[in-house]
Structure 1
Amino acid sequence: MVGVGIPICLQCGTASNPCRCEVVGPTLGFLAFAAAAIVEWPVGALVYCFTHMKGRRIKAHPATVVYPSVTNAIPI
């Protein structure tokens, strides 16, 4: 985190860009993860009451689909 309160995620050691560090992709991935989690976790908790596996898949969606797809789409 930076002093302003804006989340900055840094991922070093990647081979997808010349400087071997990613900043924009992981940061936008985190913001997309947080936005999806705000919506999907309460819905998943409600669905979990009736169908356990479907509720677990809904609650896991931000971490397994949203974050990796946004992070990998932006290579800087």
Structure 2
Amino acid sequence: MAYMPVCVQCGTHSNPCRCKVLGPTLGFVAFVVAGAVEWPLGALVYLFRHRKGRRIMSHPANVVYPRITSAIPI
């Protein structure tokens, strides 16, 4: 049996029912996939260039999740 995470965001004004399920759930899945790739890469870059490594490791949380969550209004 596979487990699929479901994220719910209530109190938004982007749709009439004021709850979002699909956007935050897909955002979370994209966050995990991007994090699996970017965090090890960022840790390697951090050894030589601290600021750039931190920026790479924070990319999924600062860019990927918010863009996908806000792009899907339901």
TM score, norm. by length of structure 1 = 0.94
Letter in 2 for 1:34: V
Q: Which residue of 1 aligns with 2:8?
A: 10
Structure 1 runs (4+) greater than 2 angstroms displaced: none
Identity among equivalent positions (%) equals 68
**C-alpha displacement of 1:5:** 1.7
Give the paired residue count: 74
Q: Which among 24, 28, 31 is matched to residue 30 of structure 1?
A: 28
SS in 1 for 2:51: helix
Cα distance in structure 2, aligned partners of 1:6 and 1:31 = 9
**C-alpha displacement of 1:43:** 0.1
Q: Which residue of 2 aligns with 1:70?
A: 68
TM score, norm. by length of structure 2 = 0.97
In structure 1, the gaps of 5 or more residues are none
Indicate the RMSD between aligned Cα atoms, in angstroms.
1.2
In structure 2, the gaps of 5 or more residues are none
Equivalent residues in 2 for 1:45-60, closer than 5 Å: 45-60=43-58
